[in-house]
Amino acid sequence: MKKVKLIFVAFILVACFINKIQAQVQGAESYRPQFHFSPKKGWMNDPNGMIFLNGKYHLFFQHNPNATTWGPMHWGHAISTDLVNWQEQKIALYPDSLGTIFSGSAVIDKNNTAGFGKNALVAVFTHHDHKVEESKSGLPAQHQSLAYSMDEGKTWTKYSGNPVLRSPGLQAFRDPKVMWYEADKQWIMTLATGGSATFYASKDLKSWNKVGEFGVGFGSPEGTWECPDLFSLPVNGGQKWVLLSSLSSGAPNGGSGTQYFVGQFDGNTFTPDHKDVRWIDYGTDNYAGITWSNTGERKIFIGWMNNWTYANVIPEQGWRGAATIARDLNLKQVGNEFYLTSLPVKELNGMTGKTNVIKNIQVKGDYDLSAKIAAFNGKFQLELATVVDESFSLQLGNRKGEMLIIGYDKANNNFYMDRSKSGLVSIPNNFAKNIIAPRIAKGSPVSLKLLLDASSAELFADEGLTVMTNTFFNSEPFNQLYIKTNKPVTIQKLKYSGIKN
Ligand code: FRU
């Protein structure tokens, strides 16, 4: 009998212990997004080397597996068949005697130009030599290198002739994005070179020649250019080229952000159509994003949902950093100009639960949607379209009085997201603030798509012409939602859905 009692007490103790651990883990995971990629443990920054191969989307990423702050960079690896559900894999690339593994891209070498094998998956990345950098020798520490995989990225071999492109003397010489340029039957590498992007050409991925440079005197004047990306998009039966360049500082709402140019690429250099500065995302938390390789005409972008200005000090829960939702990029004409649009990939719809639709809501003052969204626990998508161009806001809140206010301000012709009372906001460098994005669409009724996933809000206004991604750290999910207006506003259609577990 005594033995039975003892077993019973031991059982209760074990159950309590498991419960406690579970509670801690749940608490510890409260910021973890459900339909965005985040690493199981450790730190992540830039997405890298994204490639579509045999039905699978590969996402590599800047990863420090041993700490939740930036440190010796590895390439982490995750795979998805739908761009939404990600399975983290073994680390792909580890630091070596030439340095740590900074950002870069990957291509399929269909014709075996490099000699690693037909259809080799080749990663082109920056080796960053910390020893050189720390020695204050003044010598450049960043060079471009190759690694290849013959088994869809499971195992990698670094090329014995690394590095393949040494810095000509620049400190910032990194983040190679490589594409096959069919017109000249050669590879083109777009590289971040201080305050510009430089284009290199190669027939074999191993020997590279400079063919052009773009950037001096263009775009935002602040910050180092990082993670450039050059790709074409179809427009009116033809095509235009888009150049992305992430800037380490000087973004519209502070810190780091990604600007873009629309123009022409002639095989050697890029010529923009416009002088004004444009941002792929006006929020504070979308950086170093680039597009997938090997997806044909479809261009899919993903960014790092963070900002260098506070990246290392936002709350961590054993992991720190996540990716944005994958987004389809397209060009849209407004007036005489072409602008980039970004919208969540349609694959996200496969992740959502039942879609609820409410039509013709007349709002004057407050319209309470809390009962509709409470069960989603801060993880849902919502779309709305107005019939007139009039100011309104969406106020998300919780029982603690924390709130995130998202709105359209007609008088100032902008969208905003005010996270100044969104929970934990005592994060340095002006985290607690109202984040503003200009409206690019002209005069038409406003449409919004909002994705909320635990600790991030992504707003796609006017079919993706104005985009904002912002993080927040609330102490409870936002389970309350009010639409607020001063003047009467008709919401023609409101759609909302939770995310499937
Ligand atoms: C951009 C960046 C890249 C660099 C990487 C290092 O966020 O600074 O330029 O390759 O991060 O982790």
At residue 302, φ and ψ (nearest 5 deg) are: -145, 140
User: H or E element: which one contains 189?
Assistant: strand 186-193
Sign of CA dihedral 56, 289, 384, 456: positive
Using the mean position of ligand 1's atoms as its centre, give its distance from the Cα of residue 328 in Å.
23
Q: Are residues 144 and 105 in the same domain?
A: yes
From the list 274, 279, 278, the residue with the least C-alpha distance to 337 is 274
Residue 2's pLDDT is what? Answer: 52
Residues 186/94, Cβ–Cβ less than 8 Å: no
Structure tokens at 98: 């030439």
pLDDT averaged over every residue in the chain:
94
**Catalytic status, residue 129:** no
Protein residue whose Cα sits closest to atom 6 of ligand 1:
102
Other Cβ atoms closer than 10 A to 40: 11
Q: Note the pLDDT tens digit of each residue in 450-459.
A: 999 999 999 9
Structure tokens at 35: 């339909």
- Domain end, chosen from 321, 344, 367, is at 344
Q: Are residues 439 and 290 in the same domain?
A: no
DSSP 275: -
d(CA 364, CA 187): 57
Beta strands at 257-265 and 238-247: parallel, antiparallel or unpaired: antiparallel
In terms of Cβ atoms closer than 10 Å to its own Cβ (0-12, 13-18, 19+), residue 261 is: buried
d(CA 490, CA 487): 10
Residue 277 has pLDDT above 60, yes or no: yes
Atom of ligand 1 nearest to the CA of 308: 7
Atom of ligand 1 nearest to the CA of 103: 10
Q: Are residues 269 and 390 in the same domain?
A: no
Max CA separation in the chain (angstroms): 87
The CA distances from residue 253 to 80, 282, 404, 436, 470, in Å, are: 32, 7, 17, 7, 11
What is the rounded average pLDDT of the residues 470-476?
Answer: 97
Residue 26 lies in a domain: no
What percent of the chain has pLDDT above 90?
89
Q: Are residues 107 and 61 in the same domain?
A: yes
Residue 101's domain spans which residues? 42-344
Q: Report residue 318 CA to chain centroid gap.
A: 20
Residue 60 has pLDDT above 80, yes or no: yes
From the list 256, 237, 255, 238, the residue with the least C-alpha distance to 246 is 256
Which residues, 6+ apart, have CB-to-CB distance to 460 below 8 Å? 342, 343, 344, 448, 449, 450, 467
Residue 501's pLDDT is what? Answer: 63
Q: Are residues 105 and 239 in the same domain?
A: yes
Using the mean position of ligand 1's atoms as its centre, give its distance from the Cα of residue 46 in Å.
7
CATH code, 231: 2.115.10.20
* 381 dihedral zone (left: phi>0; alpha: psi -120 to 50; beta): beta
Residue 91 lies in a domain: yes
Q: For the whole model, what pTM was predicted?
A: 0.94
Residue 303 lies in a domain: yes
Q: Which of 48, 100, 103 to probe ligand 1 with, by most ligand atoms within 8 A of CB?
A: 103
Q: Report residue 127 CA to chain centroid gap.
A: 23
Q: Are residues 368 and 275 in the same domain?
A: no
From the list 231, 249, 227, 395, the residue with the least C-alpha distance to 311 is 249
Atom of ligand 1 nearest to the CA of 73: 12
Q: Note the pLDDT tens digit of each residue in 336-354.
A: 999 999 999 999 998 888 9
Residue 366 lies in a domain: yes
Q: Note the pLDDT tens digit of each residue in 197-222.
A: 999 999 999 999 999 999 999 999 99
d(CA 189, CA 303): 20
Residues 194/171, Cβ–Cβ less than 8 Å: yes
Q: Are residues 303 and 320 in the same domain?
A: yes
From the list 144, 145, 192, the residue with the least C-alpha distance to 172 is 192
CATH code, 429: 2.60.120.560
- Domain end, chosen from 309, 344, 379, is at 344
- Domain end, chosen from 311, 344, 377, is at 344
Residue 164's pLDDT is what? Answer: 98
Residue 5 lies in a domain: no
Residue 477 lies in a domain: yes
Q: Are residues 98 and 124 in the same domain?
A: yes
Half-sphere exposure of 400 (CA within 13 A, CB side): 13
Atom of ligand 1 nearest to the CA of 287: 7
Active-site choice (46, 229, 281, 462): 46
In terms of Cβ atoms closer than 10 Å to its own Cβ (0-12, 13-18, 19+), residue 365 is: exposed
Using the mean position of ligand 1's atoms as its centre, give its distance from the Cα of residue 89 in Å.
21
The partner residues of 60 in beta bridges, in order of sequence, read 48, 77
Higher-confidence residue of 450 and 134: namely: 450
Other Cβ atoms closer than 10 A to 4: 8
Q: What is the CA radius of gyration of the chain?
A: 24
Q: Which of 227, 285, 302 to probe ligand 1 with, by most ligand atoms within 8 A of CB?
A: 227
Residue 410 has pLDDT above 90, yes or no: yes
Residues 381/352, Cβ–Cβ less than 8 Å: yes
d(CA 445, CA 424): 34
Q: Are residues 393 and 291 in the same domain?
A: no
Q: Note the pLDDT tens digit of each residue in 105-122.
A: 999 999 999 999 999 999
Q: Note the pLDDT tens digit of each residue in 8-43.
A: 445 444 433 433 333 344 356 899 999 999 999 999
Q: Which of 43, 44, 45 to probe ligand 1 with, by most ligand atoms within 8 A of CB?
A: 45
d(CA 190, CA 176): 6
Q: Which long-range contacts (CB under 8 A, 24 or more apart) does 24-29 make?
A: 28/317, 28/318, 29/317
Q: Are residues 284 and 379 in the same domain?
A: no
Q: Are residues 102 and 240 in the same domain?
A: yes
The CA distances from residue 71 to 62, 67, 128, 143, in Å, are: 10, 7, 12, 18
Name residues contacting ligand 1 (CB within 6 A): 45-46, 62, 73, 102-103, 126, 174-175, 226-227, 288
Using the mean position of ligand 1's atoms as its centre, give its distance from the Cα of residue 70 in Å.
10
What is the rounded average pLDDT of the residues 413-439?
Answer: 97
Structure tokens at 493: 């259609």
DSSP 195: S
Q: Are residues 310 and 374 in the same domain?
A: no
The partner residues of 23 in beta bridges, in order of sequence, read none
Half-sphere exposure of 80 (CA within 13 A, CB side): 18
